[in-house]
Each structure stands twice: as C-alpha cells, then as structure tokens.
Amino acid sequence: PVSETETRTIFDKIIAKEIPSTVVYEDDAVLAFRDISPQAPVHVLVIPKSRDGLTELGKAGKRHEEILGRLLHAAKMVAEKEGILEGFRVVINSGPSACQSVYHLHLHVLGGRQMKWPPG
Ligand code: 5GP
C-alpha cells in the first residue's frame, strides 16, 4: 500500500505550516483556514489534522465517525466566528465527478452572499 507520506497533499503542508494559510479556527483535531480561491465573501476549508485514510468522504469508515462529527461542529464554529450563522452552506466534494481536487477530506464553509440552489 502507498504510505500517507508518499501521498502528501498541499493540505499536509498547510498543517505543517510549510506553506502559509489564514487560520480561522483550530483545535487538537481540526484546522480551518481561508480558501485561496474564495467562491463567496466567506469561504473556509475545514480539514482533519490527521488524514488517517480519509482522502475523500467516499472512503469513510466506522472509525471516522468521531472526526466526521467534529468537522461538522467545527464548520458551525467557523460560521459563528465569521458572522454568517443566519445562512451558510457546507459542501464536501467527494471524487472526480464532484470535482474534488485535493485528496484530503475537507468541508467548504461558504457564506456572506445569497446562495443558489441547486448548485451546478
Ligand atoms: P476541492 O475542489 O478539492 O473540493 O477543493 C479544494 C480547495 O482547496 C479549492 O477550493 C482550492 O481553492 C483550495 N486550495 C487549493 N490549494 C490551496 C492552498 O494552497 N491554500 C488554500 N488556502 N487553499 C487551497
């Protein structure tokens, strides 16, 4: 099997502070930072600090239940900090057909403008 170190993504470098990011929220398990290419006035990515095989939501297993809950709660904390609790969107792109581009699970927290539904 391919080791996690062999499959490091840009997010591992952000976690290790090897490349800079603007951190919005952080705890022992979760890091949230501003997307480099924001699609809304607020666009924050919420990621697990340890990927633990969670390259995409479609690979989640029973052992990931706790971190998945923590990521969702962190998304709410981000929305609160950013002042968008009145209305915000949380998106997870999982796999190529969903246009996932970084294979380290992440939640997009979007807000600060009127959102459209359904998305494209
Ligand atoms: P995906 O398409 O995989 O769901 O989302 C990946 C997101 O990561 C994109 O919205 C992209 O703009 C963001 N991103 C890619 N590279 C970087 C980076 O180096 N720094 C930050 N802050 N965001 C990044």
User: For residue 105, how far is its CA from the centre of ligand 1 (angstroms)?
Assistant: 11
Q: How confident is the model at residue 120 (pLDDT cuts 50, 70, 90)?
A: confident
Among protein residues, the one with the nearest Cα to ligand 1's atom 12 is 37
pLDDT of 51 over the 90 cut: yes
Q: Does ipTM come in above 0.95?
A: yes
Q: Does 73 participate in catalysis according to the annotation?
A: no
Report pTM: 0.96
| pLDDT averaged over every residue in the chain | 95
Asked if residue 55 has its Cβ within 6 Å of ligand 1, the reply is no
Q: How confident is the model at residue 66 (pLDDT cuts 50, 70, 90)?
A: very high
pLDDT of residue 7: 82
Return the ligand 1 atom nearest residue 102 CA.
3
pLDDT of 85 over the 80 cut: yes
What domains does the chain contain, in order, with CATH numbers?
4-111 (3.30.428.10)
Q: What is the pLDDT of residues 97-107, one digit of tens each?
A: 999 999 999 99
Asked if residue 50 has its Cβ within 6 Å of ligand 1, the reply is no
Asked if residue 99 has its Cβ within 6 Å of ligand 1, the reply is yes
Asked if residue 93 has its Cβ within 6 Å of ligand 1, the reply is yes
pLDDT of 58 over the 80 cut: yes
Q: From residue 82, give the alpha-carbon distance in Å to each of 16, 44, 57, 86.
A: 24, 10, 25, 11
Rg (CA), the chain: 14
pLDDT of 2 over the 60 cut: no
pLDDT of 92 over the 80 cut: yes
